[in-house]
């Protein structure tokens, strides 16, 4: 089967080829909104989101709105989010909806429809997902990936210290939970690259990625950082830089061979300080990330 819609992996590859690896977080925490001089409400969150989009356009690869920080304002928060998404699309930025959804297959499919259906009010390019109900519980999103050029980032090894007890646990098959998420995503990409004969970029970078915290020693989670198996590079969404303490200069040491398609997320480190200087902060962080990854 061949497809004409560009894949999410292909669109990521284009961002990387242009030197863009920054994922600019949109996390309208109450304290940050206060620093921005806007109210802690949906309009304040929208202001922050749209300012980040304007400053990140042409500089970052994507924006990642953290949905809970909009959801706390109910329907007004979702309306704000729709406008932020629309701005981002118009600016040519990929949108990763940080929704961290997961469920049994039938209801996960409804989450995938909500966030990944073309033309849906909250259509994003990719969403963060939780696969603790099993990797195949994500199947409801696969058709959006193959047919609509969408993507997913599966939580594998997250940046928070308390995640270790679950994510380092050994499964019946002898792999850690985290390493199995990585392998399942890589396998899926390898199998499905073959169906995208018309999109050579789909062979470069996969459309299902994982979340790997930059704050971690990946070896501890059973995740190999040496050479990867043949197949498309695995997109890695890496939070933990900036506010959580990881340094982009250490990216090669942290990720090694698994960091071929790295999106470095920073949220509070670029949002802190208000809208004044936002554009400069985003440009500086994007340049530092590009330099560190090119080194």
Ligand X SMILES: O=C(O)c1cc(=O)[nH]c(=O)n1[C@@H]1O[C@H](COP(=O)(O)O)[C@@H](O)[C@H]1O
Q: Which stretch binds ligand X (CB under 6 A): 51-59, 74-82, 183-191, 237-245?
A: 237-245
For residues 109 and 145, give the distance between their C-alpha atoms in angstroms, rounded to a whole number.
Answer: 12
Q: Is 239 in the site for ligand X (CB under 6 A)?
A: yes
Q: Does 64 participate in catalysis according to the annotation? A: no
Site string for ligand X, 13-52 (x = CB under 6 A): ------------x-x-------------------------
Q: How many CB atoms lie within 10 A of CB 23?
A: 28
Residue of 128, 146, 189, 290 interacting with ligand X (CB under 6 A): 128
Backbone angles phi, psi at 110, to 5 degrees: -70, -40
Q: Is 165 exposed, middle or buried (0-12, 13-18, 19+ CB in 10 A)?
A: exposed
Q: Which of 15, 159 has the CB closer to ligand X?
A: 159
The full DSSP string for 148-213 is H--EEEEEEE-SSGGGHHHHTPBPTTSSBHHHHHHHHHHHHHHHHHTT-TT-THHHHB-SEEEEE-
**Contact pick of 244, 260, 275, 279 for ligand X (by CB under 6 A):** 244
- Binding residue (CB under 6 A) for ligand X from 9, 151, 232, 242: 242
Of residues 112, 156, 106, 113, the one with CA closest to residue 131: 156
Please report whether residue 66 would count as binding ligand X according to CB under 6 A: yes
Minimum separation from the CB atom of position 68 to ligand X (A) = 8
Out of 64, 100, 150, 283, pick the active-site residue: 100
Give percent helix, percent strand, percent coil of the chain, each to the nearest 5. Answer: 50, 15, 35
At which residue do the structure tokens 């995640």 appear?
A: 163
Q: Binder to ligand X among 46, 51, 87, 98 (CB under 6 A)?
A: 98
One symbol per residue from 147 to 186: x for binding ligand X (CB under 6 A), - otherwise; what is it? -----------xx---------------------------
Site string for ligand X, 184-223 (x = CB under 6 A): ---------------------------x-x----------
**Least separation in angstroms between CB 133 and ligand X:** 17
Closer to ligand X at the Cβ: 15 or 265? 265
- Taking the least distance from each CB to ligand X, the nearer of 81 and 202 is 81
* 95 near ligand X, judged by CB under 6 A: no
> Which residues, 6 or more positions from 149, have their beta carbon under 8 angstroms from its beta carbon?
5, 6, 7, 8, 10, 11, 125, 207
Q: At what angle are helices 42-56 and 278-294 packed, to 10 degrees?
A: 50
Nearer to ligand X, 87 or 98 (CB): 98
Asked if 72 touches ligand X (CB under 6 A), the answer is: no
Asked if 123 touches ligand X (CB under 6 A), the answer is: no
CB atoms within 10 A of CB 96: 28
Query: Quick one: 175 exposed, middle or buried, by C-beta within 10 A (0-12, 13-18, 19+)?
Result: middle
Q: Is 268 in the site for ligand X (CB under 6 A)?
A: yes
* Residue 24 or 183 having the CB closest to ligand X: 24
Q: What is the dihedral of CA 125, 115, 213, 230, to 10 degrees?
A: -50
Residues lying near ligand X in the complex (CB under 6 A) are found at 25, 27, 66, 98, 128, 158-159, 211, 213, 239, 242-244, 265-269
- What positions carry a catalytic annotation? 100
């Amino acid at each position: 089967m061949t497809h004409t819609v560009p894949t999410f992996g292909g669109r990521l590859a284009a961002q990387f080829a242009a030197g863009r690896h920054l994922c600019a977080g949109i996390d309208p925490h109450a304290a940050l909104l206060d620093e921005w001089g806007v109210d802690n409400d949906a309009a304040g969150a929208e202001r922050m989101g749209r300012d980040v989009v304007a400053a990140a356009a042409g500089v970052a690869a994507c924006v990642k709105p953290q949905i809970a920080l909009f959801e706390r304002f109910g329907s007004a928060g979702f309306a704000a989010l729709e406008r932020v998404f629309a701005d981002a699309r118009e600016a040519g930025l990929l949108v990763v909806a940080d929704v961290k959804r997961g469920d049994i297959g039938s209801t996960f499919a409804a989450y995938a429809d909500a966030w990944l259906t073309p033309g849906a009010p909250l259509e994003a390019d990719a969403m963060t997902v939780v696969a603790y109900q099993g990797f195949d519980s994500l199947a409801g999103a696969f058709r959006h990936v193959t047919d609509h050029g969408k993507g997913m980032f599966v939580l594998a090894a997250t940046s928070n210290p308390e995640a270790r007890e679950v994510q380092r646990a050994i499964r019946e098959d002898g792999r850690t939970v985290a390493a199995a998420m990585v392998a399942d995503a890589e396998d899926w990409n390898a199998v499905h690259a073959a169906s995208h004969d018309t999109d050579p970029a789909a062979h470069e970078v996969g459309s299902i990625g994982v979340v790997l915290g930059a704050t971690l020693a990946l070896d501890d989670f059973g995740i190999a950082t040496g050479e990867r198996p043949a197949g498309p590079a695995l997109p890695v969404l890496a939070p933990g830089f900036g506010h959580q303490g990881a340094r982009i200069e250490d990216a090669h040491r942290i990720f090694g061979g698994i960091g071929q398609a790295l999106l470095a997320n920073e949220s509070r480190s670029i949002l802190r300080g208000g809208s004044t200087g936002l554009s400069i902060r985003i440009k500086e962080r994007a340049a530092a990330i590009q330099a560190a990854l090119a080194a």
